[in-house]
Structure 1
């Protein structure tokens, strides 16, 4: 895969996955058998029970005959491309679904998802009472709006009845993925599974600078601070000027995301912006816990010593990555794929630059916590008026049984579609999009499952296995091993080796009643306080006054509501 193609793909994935803080409710299969959907027929009116009707839709040789139609609305991620004159409405995957399964997928509308365009259009459709499709994807606030609308089914029983064993097993890797979509014990959205640890950060370091300055890999904050000092003061780029920094980071929107320095706070026992489970089983907001003060002091010290650019307070991940790739900083924290985005231009700008990765440094007593995300990126909702919801399960089951972990000799052994995301060039299978005749495209963006069927544990473990053995063996390993560079095998191994320190937000229930009116103000207060302490003249003691104000201005009530929600989904 070319650098440009890979960068555009990773940019889209980053925008899709990093911005959301997600999770969902436990739902176990009662029969445990993963029975295939029974055949059903059309003809029921919209007044049928939420679990669908019992009329039969005829199937022959594993496909509906005659074909059936399922409607949706389509979110096109930034990296989505089509070839051969295809579109979101007519493409290789939609044709495959009709030919193989007898399912014709029709989009009521589609939109390129830039600047939140999909969420905006979805909200407008709801507010204007437009016709909703049979099945659609939504995340965050929009997912909660779909539940509130009353237009979508309780899907828990449907999933228990119709989902295949493969899909259920993947879902059960983290049963908490259901929590976000659960109301009063009922599940209203099917979690759209994603890869686990996909956004956990590792430490990216200029290996050539380490060699020049004779530095050892940092294992704790004290050793890392020595590295920061050397990168800042010992002229690692050899230009004779004092123009480099120890670390590049973006803290404009959050102090706790996967591209920031939340792990520095985590080295002292708390994580900003995360609701964390306490020893007594309750949830507390990490940004106001007393352990935060030590992290604030450490970052304030690093700024004063010149290790962190002052501009980092207004940078986002893209700007921080660009600063690193410009050769202006020696380290950067980000997911295992960060060399592609947001640091994609490093070798273009500095041909001799070498990147290496390490697990994140731990705190003085060995404590470590870093950003993690539940392995899903939103939910799949089924319209109450859909006469035969089992049609969707026929499609999704096939995806999980045949595409998620393709079998040798199977139709998806090499990828989704020959000539699109893979091809045979000079007698060898290639996944390099630039080598595929006519240019390659990522077909996994086209389906009803956002970014395709994913088994949470699969991706990082496959990369680690390839790194250890030196050779991909399964079809899945060959596909992923075919387009990830060697540095990602190393960085994914670092992610895996520090997975015990991964922390996920324990609250994913949307906005509580008090959050609706108070949360924006409280988040602004939090960001301003942190920034004034770290980058300004406020003493660390200002944190105590912030906590008191946070509690009094709605934080105490929000904490109560968050814990009420948590009890409702866990008991």
Structure 2
């Protein structure tokens, strides 16, 4: 599972998806005045803080709070309060990182603790990371700066260039033209699904790669009724999926709807330029009918309606299903035990099948996973930029011969074993750990376009050339080079929700009910006895119960941030 921190949420890996905390500099040493935010920067240094060869002298303190994700591990007795990265920051940059608190993020513990801190008016740290509704609460609190001007003034060119790959990443944290959170960048296409298939079952039935839904249905029929595991029992299914919480996430079957021209759960551009909610578009009916047919034919387990991604992945890895859709790293999570359970199993991947008219849409998301907020009381916010600029300039795409050429820290996420550099955590003496979990930038500095293209390049050339390619190519298995290529080859069909603005006024009181209404109706049609025609009455009720007003508010928001 450690491989999987690359997702953009790996964790969520479990989970993908997440909120981490970071905080900044209120310490006494940081109260003197401005400073040059990037070693070697040509920006004039203000009086006060002194940078000597890129290092604050005397040292300064930056405070933060931390979420500890389940995949984060420590060695040598270290903790989130005292670890190799924090020591590096003090030794290299003269920045001492101090956690006011940290919490193991089980069942949303980090978000809960932040909400409690806000509601009780506790002193906030200088810099922190938050996502989702908590990020909106931080903006509403009035305790955090307009960081847009700070970013424009202090961010280095590498960081700015990475941010400009998708300027819409700012939208979620923008109010009245002001930017209150610095988007924490992630890799683009990191959660886009591909089709995972039991290659050994394909070979048994002499099946070709499924390029259309029609091809795919032939595969589902064979895997369901052809006894692919050869045990003489009818105990296999064509596809394993989890639809408990969503019909559109990266592990679900939203792409089946996408084959007919829309995506449930997504706010999408319409032909007239407005934003419409995908779940109430007429094309949804065709996707509902298709999934209902698959359930009735036994291709999809009846229990899939109450399964989450973890359960669906374990069902696939148990050898009970022949296909699964999920991100390019899904063989590690949630299908981590497939080869262990089935030593003869072979996994292959393909781009998702297209619809009868060649249409295709699949889950995508903007390349960020929350934002960094800076406390209004932080006297020297440029200190955080010194830290982040250094990571973007030296870690995001390390240069040959540099201190980060092989990774974050020798003996932690890489080492030399038998004269060769290894990224295999199991081979590193004492066990390896992913140091990027300790960074104030969740999972470290990420240039959105970088990761997938590097994996595709390695797949095409058969070798890693740059330090970055060697690092990432060093700990992804061969199947991920193929699956990443499938993601890249189908990127034109990736869709991202156009609405990222938290909640509109009517959403505050109506959205939970409308989502419940939607999930119940979809489930009753697909897994129950409701006819597909009942979808029309659902749409009318959705509009009448607040959906129409919410659509109006979503469009007003979109116009305010995109103009």
Out of 9, 13, 35, the position equivalent to 2:10 is 13
Measured in 1, the distance between the counterparts of 2:159 and 2:52 equals 23
Rounded to whole Å, the distance in 2 between the matches of 1:8 and 1:170 is: 20
SS at match of 2:239: coil
The residue that corresponds to 2:436 in the other structure is 444
Q: Identify the residue that residue 268 of structure 1 maps to in structure 2.
A: 260
Alignment of 1:334 onto 2:326: yes
Structure 1 stretch 407-416 or stretch 73-82: which is displaced more?
73-82
Matched position secondary structure for 1:541 = helix
Secondary structure, aligned partner of 2:445: coil
Give the Cα–Cα distance (whole angstroms) in 2 for the partners of residues 19 and 290 of structure 1. 30
Q: Where does 1:453-492 land on structure 2 (aligned, <5 Å)?
A: 453-492=445-484
Superposed displacement of residue 56, structure 1 = 2.4
Counterpart CA distance in 2 for 1:144 and 1:307 is: 41
1:28 matched residue in structure 2: none
Q: 1:92 to 1:481 in 2, by over 3 A?
A: same
Q: Does 1:221 align with 2:208?
A: no
Task: Work out which of the residue numbers 234, 250, 254 in structure 1 matches 2:246.
Answer: 254
In the alignment, the residues of structure 2 paired with residue 500 and residue 317 of structure 1 have an alpha-carbon distance, to the nearest angstrom, of 25
Task: State the partner residue of 1:76.
Answer: 68
Matched, 1:42 2:34: no
User: CA shift at 1:454, angstroms?
Assistant: 0.3
Which stretch of structure 1 is more off in the superposition, 543-552 or 5-14?
A: 5-14
Q: 1:566 aligns with which of 549, 558, 562?
A: 558
8 Å Cα contact 1:20/1:140 also seen in 2? no
**Cα distance in structure 2, aligned partners of 1:447 and 1:173:** 22
Offset of 1:42 from its aligned partner?
A: 2.8
For the structure 1 residues 196 and 301, does the alpha-carbon distance in structure 2 shift closer, same or farther, using more than 3 Å as the test?
same
Tell me how far apart the structure 2 counterparts of residues 211 and 570 of structure 1 sit (CA, whole Å): 50
2:79 matched to which residue of 1?
A: 87
Tell me the distance in 1 between the aligned counterparts of 2:243 and 2:320. Answer: 17
Spell out the pairing of 1:268-307 with structure 2 (5 A cutoff): 268-307=260-299
Q: Which residue of 1 aligns with 2:384?
A: 392
Residues 539 and 323 from structure 1, CA distance in 2 versus in 1: closer, same or farther, beyond 3 angstroms?
same
Unaligned runs of 5+ in 2: 20-28, 35-44
Work out which of the residue numbers 95, 98, 108 in structure 1 matches 2:100. Answer: 108
CA contact (8 A) 1:327 1:349 kept: yes
Query: Partner of 2:122: helix, strand, or coil?
Result: coil
Q: Distance in 1 between matches of 2:333 and 2:497?
A: 24
Measure how far apart 1:511 and its partner are. 0.8
Alignment deviations for residues 490-512 of structure 1 (CA, whole Å, 9 cap, x no partner): 00000000000000011010011
Distance between the aligned counterparts of 1:314 and 1:9, measured in 2? 27
Q: How big is the shift at 1:85?
A: 1.0
**TM-aligned CA deviation for residue 43 of structure 1:** 3.6
8 Å CA contact 1:196–1:374 kept in 2: the answer is yes
SS at match of 2:475: coil
Q: Is the contact between residue 512 and residue 562 of structure 1 (CA under 8 Å) also seen in structure 2?
A: yes
Answer whether contact 1:18 1:199 (CA < 8 A) is retained: no
Q: CA deviation at 1:468?
A: 0.1
SS of the counterpart of 1:203? strand
Report if the CA contact (8 A) 2:201-2:228 is conserved.
Answer: yes
- Map of 1:531 onto structure 2: 523
**CA distance in 2: counterparts of 1:506 and 1:208, whole angstroms:** 40
Give the equivalent residue in structure 1 for 2:393: 401
Looking at structure 2, the residues matched to 184 and 12 of structure 1 have their Cα atoms a distance apart, in angstroms, of 29
Deviation at 1:11, TM superposition (A): 11
CA positional deviation for 1:229: 0.5
**Alpha-carbon shift at residue 19 of structure 1 (Å):** 5.2
Give the superposition deviation at 1:521: 0.5
Between the aligned partners of 2:149 and 2:182, the Cα distance in structure 1 is: 11
TM-superposed deviation, 1:14: 3.3
Task: Please say if 1:414 is aligned against 2:411.
Answer: no
Q: Figure out how many residues of one structure are paired with residues of the other and give that number.
A: 544
What is the CA-CA distance between 1:347 and the residue it aligns to? 0.6
TM-superposed CA distance for 1:324, in Å, is 0.5
Runs of 4+ that moved beyond 3 A: 4-12, 16-22
| Contact 1:139–1:377 (8 Å) recurs in 2 | yes
Task: Give the drift of 1:17.
Answer: 8.3
1: CA distance, partners of 2:235 / 2:224: 8
Residues 236, 17 of structure 1: CA spacing in aligned structure 2 closer, same or farther, 3 A cutoff? closer
Q: What is the match of residue 153 of structure 1?
A: 145
Distance apart, 1:342 and its partner CA: 0.4
Which ranges of structure 1 fall in alignment gaps of 5 or more residues? 23-39, 46-52
Contact 2:244 2:305 in 1 (8 A): yes
User: How far apart are residue 478 of structure 1 and its match?
Assistant: 0.2
The Cα RMSD (Å) is: 1.7
Change in Cα spacing, 1:514 to 1:301, as seen in structure 2 (3 Å) is same
Whole-Å Cα distance in 2 between the matches of residues 293 and 307 of structure 1?
A: 19
The aligned counterpart of 2:111 is 119
Aligned residue number for residue 231 of structure 1: 223
Report the TM-score, using the length of structure 2 for normalisation: 0.94
Is the CA contact (8 Å cut-off) linking 2:187 and 2:451 kept in structure 1? yes
Matching residue of 2:39? none
The answer (yes or no) to whether the contact 2:9–2:16 under 8 Å persists in 1 is no
Rounded Cα–Cα distance in structure 2 between residues aligned with 1:58 and 1:356: 55
Q: What is the alpha-carbon distance in structure 1 between the residues aligned to residue 535 and residue 290 of structure 2?
A: 14
SS at match of 1:136: strand
TM-superposition CA deviations, 1:219-244 (whole Å, max 9, x none): 00011001100111111111111111
After superposition, give the CA deviation of every residue in 1:413-466 in whole Å (9 maximum; x if it has no partner). 000000000000110001111111111111000011111000000111000000
For residue 312 of structure 1, report the CA deviation from its aligned partner: 0.2
Partners of 2:64 and 2:363 in 1: CA distance: 33
Partner Cα separation in structure 2 for residue 88 and residue 242 of structure 1:
50
